[in-house]
Amino acid sequence: MAHAYVPGLKVLSRTVIRKERKLPIEGEVLVEKHSYVKANDVVARALLPGPVDIINAANKLGIDPQELSLFLLKKEGDRVNEGEVIVKYSSFFGLFKQEIKSSVTGFVESISLATGQIILRKDPTPIEVVAFIDGIIEDIIPKNGVIVKTYGTYIQGIFGVGKEKIGKLKVIVDKNSDDLIDLSLLDTVEKGDILVGGSYISKQFIDKAIEKGVIGIIVGGIDAETLKEILGYEIGVAVTGTEDIPITFIITEGFGKINMAEKTFKLLKSSNGRDVSISGATQIRAGVIRPEIIIPYLEEIQSIKDIDQEPISTVLEKGAYVRIIREPYFGKIAIITDLIEEPYSIPTESKVRVAKIKLLDTGEELIYPRANIEIIEEK
């Protein structure tokens, strides 16, 4: 039997999940190995040096650099506030006076009597990394971060936008085919909720959800034009997940009106009201990144210290369920009916390895490049 190995979208009821949580620069790790953490706990912290401002003090005063020391009111290392006088100059028996004020709130980094320059640096910006998920610290990355391990539900979407969010999961529809259009569905929603819908969401609904303080929405499908309106630009091929928007979207199936997969919806519905962590970060091409939904279930086990990740099969074979990740059938679920061994000529006249697949919703049979499908991993 022919086999191919490809990355797949995970829809896992219970599994061990590991997340690497790292600072962008070296800093301090605040937790110990094997300690338990909550999702919002700060696990590492660093100080990002502030920008500098160089003042050509001697030139401004019209003096020799060596004379600058006579008029300094601050020395290296001293704190300064924006607008505070740091140099006070007078000449001609005090008839002519001139001042130099600090342009920043921070400290005096250096004073050069060779150049007559004063370098001021703004206060550093603190950077903190939270655990993101309830779990245990499996390992420490010295001066950089940690690896957090948890046990629970793990679901990957096909596309997402928006930063990491931690909140309460709230399923507001009854079926995986229900739309998020009726604004009355938001009547019981609270600030900080992460909503679950069915097949589709409207722009009007999104606007109202943001007004209510909703921080995340998980839904089967969305119009590409709606995303463009929210973001203010068209999504390209770059990595998403850093968008400056108040809400994170995870699209589980594709663009347009598409029912959320039945298993995905049932898993989310069974976790209604639980703490959930989501990330909209997505990259479709090289170095694939998928949006994530993580729902810890630590109470179901006595300890996760000794649990190892069970291997998940990523075999592309006859009978495997796949999701199409390229137009014109983007997001469609299909089953593999055969794998063609010989390279196959596609409309672009390229020869590629392909699979025969059957769409689950329409029964339509297609020959599709293997690179354009992903196996759906379930457990």
CATH code at position 78:
2.40.50.100
Longest CA span, the chain: 99
Q: Is residue 319 part of a domain?
A: yes
Main-chain dihedrals φ then ψ at residue 300, nearest 5 degrees: -80, -10
287: confidence class by pLDDT, cuts 50, 70, 90: low
- The verdict on 188 and 272 lying in the same domain is yes
3-state DSSP assignment of residue 299: helix
151: confidence class by pLDDT, cuts 50, 70, 90: very high
The residues near 329 (Cβ < 8 Å, ≥ 6 apart) are: 359, 366, 368
Distance CA 346, CA 173 (A): 41
Higher pLDDT, 304 or 320: 320
Amino acid identity at 271: S
Across the range 186-206, mean pLDDT stands at: 96
Distance CA 169, CA 203 (A): 21
Q: Is residue 7 part of a domain?
A: no
- The verdict on 223 and 184 lying in the same domain is yes
Q: Is residue 68 part of a domain?
A: yes
- 333 in Cβ contact with 359 (< 8 Å): yes
- The verdict on 328 and 362 lying in the same domain is yes
How far is Cα of residue 265 from the mean position of the Cα atoms in its chain?
22
- 171 in Cβ contact with 268 (< 8 Å): yes
3-state DSSP assignment of residue 365: strand
The DSSP element (H or E) to which 148 belongs, if any, is strand 145-156
Amino acid identity at 40: N
Bond preceding residue 328 cis, omega within 30 of 0: yes
Higher pLDDT, 328 or 121: 121
Residue 312 has pLDDT above 70, yes or no: no
- The verdict on 251 and 339 lying in the same domain is no
Long-range contacts of 205-208 (CB under 8 A, 24+ apart): 205/180, 205/181, 206/230, 206/247, 208/183
Distance CA 144, CA 129 (A): 10
Higher pLDDT, 287 or 17: 17
pLDDT reported for residue 302: 62
Number of compact structural domains in the chain: 3
The 10 Å CB-count burial string (b at 16+, else e) for 168-184 is bbbbbbeebbbbbeeee
- CA end-to-end distance (rounded Å), the chain: 23
Q: How many CB atoms lie within 10 A of CB 61?
A: 18
- The verdict on 237 and 352 lying in the same domain is no
Please report the sign of the dihedral spanned by the C-alpha atoms of residue 345, residue 348, residue 350, residue 355: negative
Nearest to 57 by CA among 74, 41, 42: 74
- The verdict on 252 and 191 lying in the same domain is yes
Q: Is residue 130 part of a domain?
A: no
- The verdict on 173 and 276 lying in the same domain is yes
3-state DSSP assignment of residue 8: strand
- The verdict on 347 and 279 lying in the same domain is no
C-alpha radius of gyration, the chain, whole number: 28
- The verdict on 286 and 238 lying in the same domain is yes
Q: Is residue 353 part of a domain?
A: yes
Distance CA 263, CA 176 (A): 9
Tokens 């790292």, located at residue? 22
Per-residue pLDDT reduced to its tens digit, 340-357: 877 788 777 777 788 899
Last residue of a domain, one of 290, 325, 348: 290
> Half-sphere exposure (CA, 13 Å, Cβ side) for 371?
9
Q: Residue 348 belongs to a domain with what CATH number?
A: 2.30.30.140
Q: Residue 241 belongs to a domain with what CATH number?
A: 3.50.30
- The verdict on 114 and 224 lying in the same domain is no
pLDDT reported for residue 304: 58
Give me 128's structure tokens.
Answer: 């903190």
- The verdict on 215 and 115 lying in the same domain is no
Q: Is residue 240 part of a domain?
A: yes
Q: Is residue 21 part of a domain?
A: no
Name the pTM for this structure.
Answer: 0.77
44: confidence class by pLDDT, cuts 50, 70, 90: very high
Task: Give residue 343's domain range.
Answer: 315-378
3-state DSSP assignment of residue 155: strand
Helices (H), the chain: 57-61, 203-211, 224-231, 262-270
Per-residue pLDDT reduced to its tens digit, 160-174: 999 999 999 999 999
- The verdict on 284 and 319 lying in the same domain is no
Q: Which of 261-265, 266-270, 324-328, 337-341 has the highest mean pLDDT?
A: 266-270
Residue 371 has pLDDT above 90, yes or no: no
Q: Is residue 148 part of a domain?
A: no
